[in-house]
Structure 1
Amino acid sequence: MALFSFALLFSSCSGDDYINAIPQSSTLLMSTNPAKLTGTGSQHLLKSLLKVSDIDKSGIDFSANVYFFEDARYNIGLCAKVSDDDKLADMLQQAGCRVEKRRGFRFALLPGNWIIGFSDVSVLMMGPVVPAAQNDMKVQMAQYLKQDEDEGIKGTPLMERLQTIDAPMALVCQAQALPEQFVTPFTVGAPRDADPSDIMIAASMEVKNNRLIIKGQTFSFKKQIEAALQNAQKTYRPIKGDYVKSMSANDAMGLFMNVDGKNFHKLIRQNKGISGMLTGINTAIDMDNIIKSIDGDMALTASGFGKGSLQMTMAAKLGNANWLKDVSYWKQSVPQGGHIGDWGKNCFYYTGNQTAYYFGVTGDMQYMSGGSREAALRSICPSKQPLSSDIQQLITGEKLVMLINFGSLQDEKAQAVTAMLKPLFGNLNTIIYMMK
Structure 2
Amino acid sequence: MKNLDAATVADATSAFGTLASNEPHDATRRMIPAAVIGNTLEWFDFAVYGFFAITISKLFFPTGDETSSLLLTVATFGVGFVMRPIGAVILGALGDTHGRKAALSTTILLMALGTAMIGLAPTYADAGLWAPAWIVLARLIQGFSAGGEVGGATAFLVEHAPKDRKGYFASWQQASQAGALLLGSLFGATLTGVLSPLQLEAWGWRIPFLFGLVIGPVGWYIRAKTREPATFERAKAANQQASPLRQVMGSYRKEIIAGFGVTIVWTVCTYFFLVYMPTYAVRTLKLPQSASLWANGAGLLVLVVLAPVFGGLSDRIGRRPLLIGFAAAILVLAYPALWLLTAFPSAATLTAVLIVFAVLIAGFTGPAPAAMAELYPPQVRSTGLSIAYNFAVTIFGGFAPFIATALIARTGSPLAPAWYVMFAAAASLVALLVGGSALRSKA
Fold-level match, TM-score > 0.5?
A: no
**Higher relative contact order (Cα pairs below 8 Å, separated by 6+ residues):** 2
Q: Which has the larger radius of gyration?
A: 1
Structure 1 length-normalised TM: 0.24
Which structure's residues are more often helix, by fraction? 2
Which structure's residues are more often strand, by fraction? 1
Structure 2 length-normalised TM: 0.23
